[in-house]
Structure 1
Amino acid sequence: MRDFWMNRAAFLALIVSVGVAGCATTPPPPRQTAPVMRARPRPIPLSVATPAPLPGRHRNQPPADILNALQALGSKFQGRVGIAVRDVTDGWVVGYNADALLPQQSVSKLWVAIAVMDAVDRGALSLSDVVTVRRSDLTVFHQPIRPLVGANGYRTTIAALLQGAMTRSDNTCNDVLLWKVGGPTAIRRLLAQKGIKGVGFGPGERILQAKTAGLEWKPEWAGGWGFLQARAKMSFEARNKALTRYLAAPYDGASANGITLGLALLQRGELLSNRSTVHLLTLMAASKTGPLRLKSGLRPGWTFAHKTGTGQDLGNLSTGYNDVGLLKAPDGHAYAVAVMIGSTRRPIPARMQFMGNVTRALIRALD
């Protein structure tokens, strides 16, 4: 899962060289430059309960302009896409190819985060719990925590791991949390219990990325470079066969409709306690990933708390390029939005523009 290039310099580098899911294929930053993930993000004002619609705003049906815009944008984009928009208060849903199961990639970190906060609500975990991340816990691709993990491991907290997973899309932070809450089976059980339909969950970061590339994960690949070397030795035909199989039936597949359902339930406070909901939404609002995806179409006064995802590339084919989250109007009215590009050969700037155009079209119709 590849949610990185969080600032302008990183974006410029991305235009030159994009390689694989979750991270660049360039070596990780030197140990001395690695960020120490201990502090919690500064809280920002967030409302969990969706405010009552203003006079004249309430709609049982979506504005026709939204449906027309999404159909036009989705049908013209060169690639397989799924788009869904759901009014959190009024409940209407509109989309394009919104029930297709597409790769989530790092979008799935959202469900891990919900499971973590659910465990906090139940008293099974505390955000202050100390965790030692071992070298054997390292995953693949984007993992800013990696340089901090020495021979004796790295002591951190559940809160810091959650912050790293949600604001920087750190794959190792997320995978450690995943196993703390019981692994993929526990996430699938939570999705079913919470009524989040249309959302699946994969086998965990390492196995997912290995299977997508046509490999079987080996423990000695922890950290990622052994995996990259093994993948580089594969023929194009073998990798293409594996990637085609993945795209036909993604191991982490979800629909845009299903994702917006989960987001709407989160915003309405139906998944977690008020405190846990606010904490998670605060992290999503503080995300450093994908500033030029859906957020690029915002107008002043509108906000977007989100989670991005990016899959593996093969040649000029990119997979699992996603952005999902909660779009809020200046009056506080919230809309769950999911834009998923399952596969495309369009370059990154075209994908970003497409996503920004979705946001611009929504705001024009809703403002």
Structure 2
Amino acid sequence: MKVKLSVRPLLAVSMSAAVLAGCVSSAAIVPQPRQQPAAQPKAAVRGPAGSVSVPIGQPVRSQMPRPAGPLDPGFRRAPAGLNDRIYELWRSFPGKTGIAVQRIDGEWALSQRGGDLFPQQSVSKLWVTLAVLDAVDQGRMTLDQRVRIGPEDLVVFHQPLAARVRAEGSVTMSVRDLIETAITHSDNLANDSLLRTVGGPNAVRAFIAKKDLGSIRFGPGERLLQAGTAGLTWQQSYSVGRNFEAARAQLSAATRRTAMDNYLANPVDGASPAAIASALTRLARGTLLSPESTEYLQDVMSRTRSGPRRLKAGLPPGWKFMHKTGTGQNLGGMTAGYNDIGIATAPDGTRYAIVVMLGTTTSSIPARMALMQSVSSAVAEYHGR
């Protein structure tokens, strides 16, 4: 069932969480007088404090699902009131929060802390798959290419595929099946196997640079990322059972806190909400991959199983959503990265890139999901105004 939440209940939940956590977004200040974006397509217009609504370049018309243009409501500027709604949701939520919304079939984008770097966690699986599909487009790989996965490849945390490897000794899968498993199930082992096959972290970074995706970093891979965040040096034995959690529990509180603080201050897998929204827009417009790979990846993302109560749950019936989630480690009730990014399509075919990233938060999981639902619900509510 789709859930549409109003701002008022969420504000009540968020303010309550702020009192308990003693932590409110550092940019929560009194908003400036409301201003509307200028009509000129090149002007950037400031909204409430910390926000910006930016007209963007003309979309690729051949990629648009329906005719659009200056006469289409919301084509050149965000609907009146949406920027203020997003600002209020952002302002009232405890912790470091980033929100970005961009109309894919239009000329505007808006954000709160849109330029700051946030931990991506499993959101970064999207860049691995994009790099793989780009290699397929270039003829350097094929979707039917076979990849062997053995015990030496096992990683940490969510890796359902590991059970097969342990039971069978090794598993051989196609690149196509690994993409499906990595994106729809957020399987860390499938993702790291794709990463190894495409050429490692440097290959993904090269793709990000080649496509000029902006403020998007790619980390060292799941094993080194999670070990470093915890304050550990990776050992392959950590991939077995709960060895990683046991080793982490043996660390001193000071060691864990220092490692976590260092990660949050300069996340090796950090990305800005605005850059991710722009990348999603370019993916939807068909300017990152071939038409075949573009259609294939969006189809895979539409089957994502993780995070059904995040952004997706805020959209009303008739809307479609394709997305990728990401969730980081916990320390002292704080989660380092709780994210959802995706492409929402209205019943009339208009598309929006929506990004919500919680860099640090002690709010309950229901409160986090309620924030995300309220953001996507606001986009749907103001659509067409």
Query: What TM-score results when the alignment is normalised by the length of structure 2?
Result: 0.81
Partner of 2:345: 328
Cα deviation, residue 223, structure 1: 3.9
Summarize deviations over 1:139-186 as a string: whole Å, max 9, x none: 000001011003631121111111010000000000010111111111
Q: 2:108 aligns with which of 83, 92, 96?
A: 92
Partner of 1:283: 300
Pair 1:115-2:142 in alignment: no
Partner of 1:294: 311
Partner of 1:31: none
Letter matched to residue 90 of structure 2: G
5 Å-filtered alignment, 1:242-321, equals 242-321=259-338
Partner of 1:135: 151
Maintained 8 Å contact 2:147/2:197: no
5 Å-filtered alignment, 1:48-63, equals 49-51=63-65, 52-53=67-68, 56-63=72-79
Distance in 1 (CA, whole Å) between partners of 2:240 and 2:64 is 42
Letter matched to residue 321 of structure 1: Y
Q: 1:202 aligns with which of 214, 219, 239?
A: 219
Maintained 8 Å contact 2:182/2:188: yes
Pair 1:352-2:369 in alignment: yes
Q: 2:197 aligns with which of 152, 172, 180?
A: 180
Maintained 8 Å contact 1:137/1:172: yes
Q: 1:70 aligns with which of 75, 86, 89?
A: 86
Maintained 8 Å contact 1:327/1:336: yes
Distance in 2 (CA, whole Å) between partners of 1:177 and 1:273 is 19
Cα deviation, residue 235, structure 1: 1.8
Q: 1:230 aligns with which of 236, 244, 247?
A: 247
Cα deviation, residue 315, structure 1: 2.0
Q: 1:316 to 1:274 in 2, by over 3 A?
A: same
Cα deviation, residue 238, structure 1: 1.4
Cα deviation, residue 222, structure 1: 3.1
Q: List 4+ stretches of structure 1 deviating above 4 A.
A: none
Maintained 8 Å contact 1:139/1:224: no
Q: 1:114 to 1:346 in 2, by over 3 A?
A: same
Letter matched to residue 107 of structure 2: G
Cα deviation, residue 69, structure 1: 0.9
**Structure 2: gaps spanning 5 or more residues:** 1-60
Distance in 2 (CA, whole Å) between partners of 1:224 and 1:152 is 16
Distance in 2 (CA, whole Å) between partners of 1:65 and 1:327 is 19
Distance in 2 (CA, whole Å) between partners of 1:180 and 1:361 is 40
Q: 1:223 to 1:129 in 2, by over 3 A?
A: farther
Partner SS for 1:209:
helix
Cα deviation, residue 224, structure 1: 5.9
Partner SS for 1:192:
helix
Pair 1:125-2:141 in alignment: yes
Partner of 2:55: none
Partner of 1:170: 187
Cα deviation, residue 122, structure 1: 1.2
**Structure 1: gaps spanning 5 or more residues:** 1-46
Maintained 8 Å contact 1:285/1:304: yes
Maintained 8 Å contact 2:68/2:75: no
Letter matched to residue 318 of structure 1: T
Cα deviation, residue 242, structure 1: 0.9
Maintained 8 Å contact 1:135/1:149: yes
Q: 1:95 to 1:221 in 2, by over 3 A?
A: same
Q: 1:104 aligns with which of 104, 120, 124?
A: 120
Summarize deviations over 1:50-73 as a string: whole Å, max 9, x none: 233275335222123111011100
Pair 1:154-2:171 in alignment: yes
| Number of aligned residue pairs | 321
Cα deviation, residue 348, structure 1: 0.3
Maintained 8 Å contact 2:75/2:105: no
Distance in 2 (CA, whole Å) between partners of 1:176 and 1:217 is 17
Q: 1:124 to 1:171 in 2, by over 3 A?
A: same
Q: 1:277 to 1:152 in 2, by over 3 A?
A: same
Distance in 2 (CA, whole Å) between partners of 1:171 and 1:310 is 12
Query: What TM-score results when the alignment is normalised by the length of structure 1?
Result: 0.85
Distance in 1 (CA, whole Å) between partners of 2:142 and 2:250 is 43
Greater relative CO, 1 or 2 (CA 8 Å, sep 6+): 1
Farther-moved stretch of structure 1 (86-95 vs 306-315) = 86-95
Distance in 2 (CA, whole Å) between partners of 1:366 and 1:320 is 28
Partner SS for 2:130:
helix
Partner SS for 1:307:
strand
Summarize deviations over 1:84-132 as a string: whole Å, max 9, x none: 0011121311011111101000000000010111111111111111111
Summarize deviations over 1:7-35 as a string: whole Å, max 9, x none: xxxxxxxxxxxxxxxxxxxxxxxxxxxxx
